[in-house]
Every structure is written in structure tokens, then in C-alpha cells.
């Protein structure tokens, strides 16, 4: 009996008769020879079917195999440096038997170029392509590395609810649902619950989907994204930056260690990823405004001059974030934003309440904000006053206000948008390819 293997383990089976089970990725007909590229989800292997050496009916069926037909092939594993399409490269199988499980009919995604909307309509099938295979593997490794870093640094994963009675961020992006006759919302963040959990466990993180009814179509915004949110007691703004820097540089190391092949498949400029090393740059909002002014002065491009216009007190748009991060050539922390453009829970800077102890991490190459965090208000009276400005009845926040009554402590945390990080590290043109099924303003299918 031949052993059934995963293609990724093929190197350990040279000279053996093995069985692989999967789908036809591609096929080349050379008369008496059929070259069938078979993928099984773990890799791709070139299988060579030679007519005179095989059962005639099976060879005839092999010659009719269409893209994405499912099949089971048994044969001998050989090394062949010319098997460049195999993954891992350099192996092939001399087929003895080819059993067709199902012949696929008119698979819509052919090797020709397709438009993005067509591919997104067929996302359930597009995921089978090599490029998407590479991106999803990278996504899994980044997720694992980020959470490993937190686990290794004493953070406990404590899950937070998705259906909530209160808003965690701006009320303009809430998805409202009917909770048995009462209004409720899909969570925009796990933060408020993280703050309760932090008081119970010291250092915690939540990792779950967050929902934002974003009305704008951009290449960075999803309606549903995976949010990784650490929170810790006594964590200062500087501490928040250190955690972000530590986690992200560790994830980059793991990515480079494990996925050079995938980065090549997606044609990522690997040197850009290799450049991502701690320490990241740090600049205050005040200085960032000055720097933007200088960049505006320097440019001769009238359009860029217009785009970079900004007054103190305004939030950055993507041209500002892009220009700032480019001028550092690595991720940059911008801290102490104006209080008025940030969320209700952010601690004001002592003696300067018009700015707050907030920090955004901006990625280079135009990818913009990937993390947002802050020190939180821990004073009971101040948080009470801020909650009264949200526009949602106080009762929904009574439990949150309790946290400032029973042993309140300075604390801080942040949220990292997984898709933003994957999009950046993979160098993708749009966030839609960084998640298996993107939920966007005009897309909720498949």
C-alpha cells in the first residue's frame, strides 16, 4: 500500500511510492505524456503520466482532466530540478494510477487575467490560487507570532463579547441590531471589556472581529476586521509603544524565517520587510504638524501641496500619514494627538488637556495607521463626564464606570488591525486580499 502524503512533506519520500489527493492546478498535454500540476492545499507537485506505462482508460481520463478537477494519484517520488512549478520546487511524481474523483466543469477562474470585481465575486474559488494561498499562510503566521509574543510576555487571552449595549468608539460607525426588542451594537472594539479584564488579570488581550459601519470606500477600511487588543494595568504610553514595537518586530522575524517562498510568490520586495526593525521612530503630533509643513514647503508638486495642507487640531488623512511615514522609512509612532479628535476614554496630558496620551502607529509605504492606543482616563469624575458626551444612556456604561470606583489604576492598551498589518507586510494594493472574505461598503458576498 502506498503511503498517503501531504505534498509539503514530499522531500522525505524520494524513491517511495506515495498517494497524493487534491485538485488539478494546471495540465500540459504532450501526447503520450500528461504533466499534471496537482495541489493539495499544502503544496503543488508535478505528476507525470506516461501512456504506455499506464492503464489505458486512466491515461485517457488523465488527458481530459480540467482545471480544479479532484483526483487521487499514486506514483513514485523523484527529484527533478526542472520541476519549477512544484512547491516545494524540484520534486515530481511518476504516476502509476490516476483516479478522477470529480471532473470539474467550466471552472470560471482561468489562468488569463480577470478583473478584481470578478475575482471578488468568486472569492470562494479565488482562494485556491497560489497568490491567495501564500497570503493566507502569511496571515496565519502573523496572527500566531503576535499572539505568541503576548503569551510569552505574560498577557492572558480573555475573550470579549461581540454583541454589546454600549459603543466603544465613534457612534457614527455603529452597526445596530435588534436584541429582542432592545437596541444593541456589534462590537467596534473589545477595549472596554479589556479594561475590566485587566483589573482581574493584570495583562490581557482580546482577539476577535470588530465591526465598523464605515461609509467611505478606501483601500484600508473593512466593515469587519480582526482586532488584536492588549491592555495592561500601569501600562504607560511609552509602555504601549514598546509592546507594539516588540510584537511587530517579532512577527516580522517569524515571517522572514518561515515564508520567503510565499513572499516571492506574491512578489513582495523582501528588502522592505527586512528593514522593519526596532526601534521604530517616535514623533509628537505637534512635531508631525511641523514636519508636514516642511514637506509641503519642499514639494514642487501643487497637488501634493494641496493634499498636505493641515491645521493644528485636525486629524491626519491618508496623504499626511503616507508623507510622515515615508519621511522616516520605517514605522513611526505619532503621540499626543489633540483630545478633540480622539476617543472619549483617553487620558489628557497633564497641564495640557487639549492633547491626550494617545499614540497611532503609522506603517511605511503608504499603508497608514496599523495600531491605535492610549493611556486611559482612570479618574472617576472625568470618565463620568466624558461618558455623558457619548450620546448613549449612562446605564449602558454603569459597569464600566464601576471600574473607576473599585481600585482604579493608570492603565493603557491599543488595538492592532490584523488586515492592515497583513496588507502592509505583504505589500498588497488593497486590504480586500488580506482576509478570506472581505466585508466592504458594497460587498457582503460571498
Geometric angle at alpha carbon 357, from 246 and 153, rounded to 5°: 25
List binders of ligand 4AD among 172-191 (CB under 6 A).
Answer: 189, 191
> What strands lie across the sheet with 163-164, from one edge to the other?
163-164, 182-186, 176-179
Minimum CB distance to ligand 4AD smaller for 99 or for 214: 214
> Rule CB under 6 A: is residue 225 a binding residue for ligand 4AD?
yes
> Rule CB under 6 A: is residue 347 a binding residue for ligand 4AD?
no
- Reading the block at residue 147, the C-alpha cell is 499572539
> Rule CB under 6 A: is residue 168 a binding residue for ligand 4AD?
yes
Minimum CB distance to ligand 4AD smaller for 21 or for 336: 336
> Rule CB under 6 A: is residue 195 a binding residue for ligand 4AD?
no
Strands 411-417 and 224-233: antiparallel
> Rule CB under 6 A: is residue 169 a binding residue for ligand 4AD?
yes
List binders of ligand 4AD among 261-300 (CB under 6 A).
Answer: none
Residues 352-391, mask of contacts with ligand 4AD (x by CB under 6 A): -----------------xxxxx------------------
List binders of ligand 4AD among 410-439 (CB under 6 A).
Answer: 413-417, 419-420
What are residue 71's DSSP bridge partners?
22, 100
CB 81 within 8 A of CB 90: yes
Q: Minimum distance between the CB of residue 179 and ligand 4AD, rounded to whole angstroms? A: 21
What count of Cα atoms within 13 Å lies in the side-chain half-sphere of residue 297? 6
> Rule CB under 6 A: is residue 222 a binding residue for ligand 4AD?
yes
- Closest to 41 in 3D by CA, of 13, 26, 22, 20: 22
The answer to whether the peptide bond before residue 88 is cis (omega within 30 degrees of 0) is yes
- The DSSP annotation for 188-209 comes to S-SHHHHHHHHHHHSEEEEEEE
Selected binder of ligand 4AD within 21, 27, 139, 227 (CB under 6 A): 227
The window from 34-42, 123-131, 218-226, 327-335 that contacts ligand 4AD (CB under 6 A) reads 218-226
The contacts of residue 146 (CB under 8 Å, 6+ apart) are 228, 247, 248, 250, 251, 416, 418, 421
The window from 117-125, 224-232, 245-253, 272-280 that contacts ligand 4AD (CB under 6 A) reads 224-232
Minimum CB distance to ligand 4AD smaller for 59 or for 414: 414
Q: Give me the phi and psi of 259, to 5 degrees please.
A: -125, 35
Binding site for ligand 4AD (CB under 6 A): 168-169, 189, 191, 212, 214, 221-222, 225, 227, 229, 369-373, 413-417, 419-420
Amino acid at each position: 500500500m502506498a503511503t498517503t502524503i501531504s505534498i509539503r512533506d514530499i522531500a522525505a519520500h524520494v524513491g517511495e511510492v506515495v498517494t497524493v489527493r487534491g485538485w488539478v492546478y494546471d495540465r500540459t498535454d504532450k501526447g503520450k505524456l500528461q504533466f499534471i500540476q496537482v495541489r493539495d492545499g499544502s503544496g503543488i507537485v508535478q505528476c507525470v503520466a506516461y501512456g504506455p506505462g499506464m492503464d489505458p482508460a486512466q491515461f485517457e481520463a488523465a488527458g481530459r482532466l480540467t482545471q480544479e478537477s479532484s483526483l487521487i494519484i499514486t506514483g513514485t517520488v523523484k527529484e527533478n530540478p526542472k520541476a519549477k512549478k512544484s512547491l516545494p520546487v524540484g520534486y515530481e511524481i511518476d504516476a502509476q494510477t490516476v483516479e478522477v474523483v470529480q471532473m470539474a466543469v467550466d471552472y470560471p477562474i482561468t489562468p488569463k487575467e480577470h478583473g478584481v470585481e470578478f475575482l471578488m465575486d468568486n472569492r470562494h474559488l479565488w482562494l485556491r490560487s497560489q497568490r491567495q494561498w501564500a497570503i493566507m499562510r502569511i496571515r496565519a503566521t502573523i496572527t500566531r507570532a503576535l499572539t505568541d509574543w503576548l503569551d510569552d510576555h505574560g498577557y492572558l487571552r480573555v475573550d470579549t463579547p461581540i454583541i454589546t449595549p454600549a459603543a466603544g468608539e465613534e457612534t457614527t460607525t455603529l452597526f445596530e441590531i435588534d436584541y429582542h426588542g432592545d437596541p444593541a451594537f456589534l462590537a467596534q472594539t473589545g477595549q472596554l471589556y479589556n479594561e475590566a479584564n485587566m483589573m482581574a488579570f493584570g495583562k490581557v488581550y482580546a482577539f476577535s472581529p470588530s465591526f465598523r459601519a464605515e461609509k467611505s470606500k478606501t483601500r484600508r477600511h473593512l466593515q469587519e476586521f480582526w482586532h488584536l487588543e492588549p491592555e495592561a494595568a500601569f501600562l504607560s504610553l511609552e509602555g504601549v509603544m514598546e509592546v507594539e514595537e516588540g510584537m511587530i518586530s517579532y512577527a516580522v522575524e517569524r515571517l522572514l524565517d518561515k515564508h520567503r517562498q510565499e513572499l516571492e510568490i506574491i512578489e513582495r520586495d523582501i528588502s522592505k520587510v527586512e528593514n522593519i526593525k526596532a526601534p521604530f521612530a517616535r514623533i509628537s503630533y505637534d512635531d508631525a504638524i511641523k514636519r508636514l509643513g516642511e514637506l509641503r514647503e519642499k514639494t514642487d508638486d501643487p497637488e501634493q501641496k494641496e493634499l498636505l495642507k493641515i491645521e493644528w487640531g485636525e486629524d491626519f488623512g491618508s496623504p499626511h500619514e503616507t508623507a510622515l511615514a515615508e519621511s522616516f522609512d520605517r514605522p513611526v509612532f505619532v503621540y499626543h494627538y489633540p483630545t478633540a479628535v480622539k476617543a472619549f476614554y483617553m487620558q489628557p496630558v497633564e497641564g495640557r488637556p487639549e492633547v491626550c496620551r494617545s499614540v497611532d502607529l503609522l506603517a511605511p509605504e503608504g499603508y497608514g495607521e496599523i495600531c491605535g492606543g492610549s493611556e486611559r482616563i482612570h479618574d472617576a469624575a472625568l470618565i463620568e463626564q466624558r461618558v455623558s458626551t457619548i450620546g448613549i444612556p449612562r446605564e449602558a456604561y454603569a459597569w464600566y464606570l464601576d471600574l473607576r470606583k473599585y481600585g482604579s489604576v493608570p492603565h493603557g492598551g491599543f488595538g492592532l488591525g490584523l488586515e492592515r498589518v497583513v496588507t502592509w507586510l505583504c505589500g498588497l494594493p488593497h486590504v480586500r486580499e488580506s482576509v478570506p472574505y472581505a466585508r466592504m461598503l458594497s460587498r457582503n458576498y460571498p
